[in-house]
Structure formats: structure tokens, C-alpha cells
Structure 1
Amino acid sequence: MMRFIQNHVSLSVRAGLALFGAVLLWSSSFIALKIAVSAFDPMVMVFGRMLSSLVALMLLRVTVWRRAEAPMLLDRRVTRREWKYIVLLALCEPCFYFVFEGYAMIYTTASQAGMVVAALPLAVVVAAWLLLGERPHRRVWIGFVLAVVGVVWLSAGSEATESAPNPIFGNFLEVLAMLCGALYVVCAKQLSSRCSPVLITTMQSLIGLLFFLCLLPLPAVKLPDSFPLLPTLAILYLGVGVTMLSFLLYNFAVRSVPASRTGAFLNLVPVLTLFMGMVFLDERLTAGQWAASALVFGGVILSQWKTAQSEEKADSSATASLSEGAE
């Protein structure tokens, strides 16, 4: 099956499908998180998520990948600079990202958290400007301001409910998680052309497991005395499906998919999360929250529209140049 796909499906199509699969899994993660934290402490939940992810990765390595003659986990010597990026990447996500997001899901709804994360592509642009010296277009800054206003409006218009007792605080924690995610994307882009997706994903899970293992003895962490079926299955889904599979898919796709197209796919996360929140958790947004969500989404689209156009023109120019050279 794998050889058929490799021989008959182009790399760009495979990368696009992989990216869509990662987005679908990330969208569903908010639903699974909400179910998991209903019975477990966020730190216990994330530890279980990291453990199941790492076990699944090792099983895949021993069985499927060995038979498929996949590249070794360490197929070459990793440089000290690459290890620094790997550690920083893992500290951003899963470590601090999951700390903020785990507690955010106690205080806000999955739908609102998904809309906050909609601004992630803009945060990535700002992080690239600060860390890599990339200069974003004025349109990006206008979109960024619109998205920030939308997030503030969304949070201010939220009312406390039994499932979301403090949505303003929860959305603030989700913003912090989003900033960690933006730094993760920048680090992943630096590593994607040098290290295999298997290595990056495995080290993320291993460092995350050790990080949350150190947090479990803290007095503030409530250890479980029972394991309800649905929340336990949600943790396993988060570990195997979301943490392991989505990161493998994303790290594979980011090698071949342009940055603007990656951002366009990420825009699907809040839309899919809203839909799943309505279907599985019976969540609803008020008219004002819908307007705020539209402002966030509009700001993101505005910021990326010109970038996507420029990239398409650049790709067309490059193709034309290659054709002329061949003639």
C-alpha cells in the first residue's frame, strides 16, 4: 500500500493530505481534552498522553517501520545546534503548550479555545519577524490587530457556565499556549530539512514525558483514584492519534508545503473545532461571539491572502524559468 502511494501519488498531494490529516486530528483534540479534564488533573492527563504516544512510537518503530525499511531514528549524527532546536521545540510543544492548554480547557469551552488558536498563523509570522528577521507585509499587521480584537471580544462576551466557569482566564491561557505553538512552528521549520519526522516526534514525546513526570509529585497535582472509561480513552486518543500521528503527519508535510499553504490549512482548525463542539459537546456561541469569531477568522485570511498570491506568482515564475532553461 505504501509503495503504491509513493509510486502513484505526487509528493505535493501526499504532503497536502498529511497536513489535512494533522489539522483534522488537532481540531478533534479540543473535544478529547474537554472530556479528559472532566475526570483527570491536566498534568496527569498530559503525562498519560505523552506515555501512550511514546509507547506507540516505539511499537511502530519495532514493527511497521522495520519491515518497511524506514530510515533509522538516528540515521546520522545530530549536531549540537540541532539538539538545541529539538530541546527548545519540545519545551514549547508539548511541554509548556500542554500546561497552558490543559488548564485552559478547565475554564473555557472547546469552541472558544479553537477560535483563539485560529490566530496561530499570525503569531507564527510575528515570531518569524522577531526571531528570523522576516519582514511581514502591512496587511499582516492589520490582520493581526483584527484577530487580537476578535479574541478580546470573544473572551469579553463569554458568560460563565458549568462547563466553562471562567472563559476569560481560560482564553488567556489558550493565548499563552498559542504563543508556544508559534515558537514551535518556527523551530520545526528550522529542523524539518535536517532531521527526520520520526526523530523530531520521538524526542518531543520523550522530553514531554520526562517533563510531566517531574510535575506529578507537586502538591497541586491531584493523582487519580479511578480511571473512568471515556476520559481514559480520550487520553489514549490524544496520545496515539493527536500527539504521535498528527506530529508525524505535520513534520512530513512541512518539508514540502509552502508556509502560506500551511497557514491556510491551519485556518480549518477553528472551523472544524466549532463543528465538533456543537456535535459532540452541545456547545453554542452567542451572536456576539460569532461576530468576534468572524473578526478573528477575517484577520487571519486578510493577513495571508497577499502572501499566498505572492507565493503562487513566485512558483509560476520559477516554473517558467525552468521551462525556458529546458528549451
Structure 2
Amino acid sequence: MKHPRRVAIQISTATGTNRWQLYLMLVGIMALWGGTWPVGRVVSATVAPWNAALLRFAMADVVLLAICLWTQGAGSLRVPGHLWPRLVLLGATGIFGYSFFFFTGLKTTEAARAGLIVGCIPACIALCSAVAARTWPSLWRMTGILISLAGVWLVISRGDLRTVLRGEVRVGDLLILGCVGCWVGYTLFARPVMRELSPLVTVTWSCVLGTVLILRFALAGGITGELAAIQSAAWLGLVYLAIPATSLAYFGYYHAIHRIGGGATGIFINLVPVFALVFGCLFLREALAVGELAGGFLVVAGVMLALREPRKLTRPVQ
């Protein structure tokens, strides 16, 4: 009889006003993540990719470590020895690889287009998760995945699907697809790690280890000589990418998962490409063709369809 009571109390803490506050916080987080694309494009115009990545995550690491110490204590940062190789893999995919494709791709691809392309990440995660589990996705989910991928094709082809078949694809678009691959890999590799470490600690260590990997390339690229030449606008962009859009956003996102669950929280990811599109058009004066906008709509619609779970009738807890 005690177990149902605990469940009821846990659910009640995330209802009413508290739940709506969490929803508003999640919308704000998605706006921060959507803003990373136009801000990243501004930064990448004047700062070398490895240097930008190092500065971003060096600042983010400090804040994430402080948040971990404040919320979970120093003991939370202890890692079992067998998990270190997996954390290095997370740093290599989600931080090192993603940063390279992010800053390099945004040199030649508009922020709005990039945001629409990466909007397919949840659908790709759903597909790869099914493959990894050796299970065939439901017809409902598979339809959503295919619609989302078709939308990406439409965005990359700028409304003319034949351009992809002819190989007339921007290098920047292909690099942004590298972001998709890296983040899908990071998500899948992180799941077993998060069974033993908290999500916040997992993210923190993956950021720290990814920064170490980036450091070698940034030093080889002459970051020490470029620091003095970085303009104030780029510095502001790097601070935005590091603290609000990385450290604070991840802390809030995983707090929301703890309160209302991963399913409800994950739905808000669909807002990221929308915010990227709006901010790219508003602040960078980017213009997209009708075909690209249609592709973006298909990406978001496909993801929503793929992540939607049919409602099941359940018996009440006795």
C-alpha cells in the first residue's frame, strides 16, 4: 500500500502551477538551443572552429562542475574505472565531433537551414535505437521517421529533390549532417552510462573529456595567437554558447526530466528548429525558399509522429 502512495506524491509535485512553470522553462531552453545556430554562425565567421569549440566548452566545463558540486556534492563526480572509456567516447562524439561539424558547417550554411536539418535528430535516434535493439519500429513510428528524413532531403535540396541525386549538395549541409550523426551516437552511447551515473554528471564529464580532445587541435591551430584578435561580438556569442545554452540549459533540461519524465520533456525538442528558423530570419536576415520551409515542416511533423506513443488502457493500481 505504500508504493502507490509514493507514486501519487511524486506525480502531484509536478502538477498544476509547478508543471506549467516547467513547461515555460523548457520553452526557454529550446529557445536557447535554437539560438545556438545563428550565434554559432556569427562566431564561426571570425573564430577558427577548434578555437571556438575550446573556448565554448572550457567555460561550460567550469559552470557544469560548479553545478555538480553544488547540487550533488563532490562524491557524485567519482566515476567507476570501467566507465572512463565510455565517457571518452561520449566526449569524442557529442563534444569533439559535434563541435567540429557545428562550427565548420556554419561557415557556409545558413543558421535557419542548419536548424531545420538537425531537427531530424529525434527521428534518427528512434530509428537507430530500434536497430540497436533489433526490433522493427511500429508502422506509426516508421512513417514519422520517413517523413522526417524526407523533410531533411527537401531542405538540403532546396525544394528540388533532383539536386541531391545529381550530387549538387553544399559541403556545409553535409557537415551539419555530421552533427546529426554525432548527436545520435552520443545519445545511444550515453544510455548505458546514465544507468550508473546521473545525467548531469555524465554530461559534465563528457564535456570535460571532449574539451581535452579539442585542446590538442586548438593548440596546433594557434589559439594563443588568436585570442587577442577575437572581437567582442564573438566573445559574447561564445559566452552565450557556453553558459546559458550549454551549462544552464542542460541543468534545466535534466531537472525537467526528473520532474515530468523523459517522454513529456522530449516533445519540446521539436521547438528547436522552429526557434532556429525564427532567429536566423530575424537577426541574420536569412531567407528560405518555399521548398526549404516545406521540408522544415515535414521534419518537425515527422518527429512528432515518430515520438507519439498510442495511448494504452491501463488498469488502476490496486
Give the TM-score normalised by structure 1. Answer: 0.79
Structure 1, unmatched stretches of 5+, are 1-5, 160-165
Select 1:286's aligned residue among 285, 289, 292.
Answer: 289
1:21 & 1:86 partners in 2: Cα distance?
28
Alignment map for 1:37-186 (pairs within 5 Å): 37-60=44-67, 65=70, 70-75=71-76, 78-157=79-158, 168-186=170-188
Shift in CA distance, 134/253, structure 1 to aligned 2, threshold 3 Å: farther
Partner of 2:242: 239
1:34 & 1:254 partners in 2: Cα distance?
30
What is the identity percentage for the equivalent residue pairs of Structure 1 and Structure 2?
A: 23
CA contact (8 A) 2:77 2:201 kept: no
Shift of residue 227 of structure 1?
1.8
Shift of residue 203 of structure 1?
0.9
Partner of 1:204: 206
Shift of residue 47 of structure 1?
0.5
Shift of residue 21 of structure 1?
4.0
CA contact (8 A) 1:92 1:183 kept: yes
2:187 & 2:257 partners in 1: Cα distance?
9
2:77 & 2:62 partners in 1: Cα distance?
23
Amino acid at match of 2:109: T
1:73 & 1:271 partners in 2: Cα distance?
38
CA contact (8 A) 1:73 1:198 kept: no
Shift of residue 178 of structure 1?
1.0
Q: Which moved more, 1:256-265 or 1:44-53?
A: 256-265
Root mean square deviation of aligned Cα: 3.0
2:169 & 2:74 partners in 1: Cα distance?
42
1:88 & 1:251 partners in 2: Cα distance?
21
Give the TM-score normalised by structure 2. Answer: 0.82
CA contact (8 A) 1:154 1:292 kept: yes
Aligned residues: 297
State the SS of the aligned residue for 1:85.
helix
CA contact (8 A) 1:100 1:177 kept: yes
Shift of residue 156 of structure 1?
1.7
2:77 & 2:216 partners in 1: Cα distance?
30
Amino acid at match of 2:274: V
Shift in CA distance, 298/220, structure 1 to aligned 2, threshold 3 Å: farther
Partner of 2:42: 35
Partner of 1:264: 267
Structure 2, unmatched stretches of 5+, are 1-9, 161-167
Cα deviation code 1:262-295 (max 9, x no counterpart): 4421111111111111221111211121122222
Shift of residue 77 of structure 1?
5.3
CA contact (8 A) 2:200 2:250 kept: no
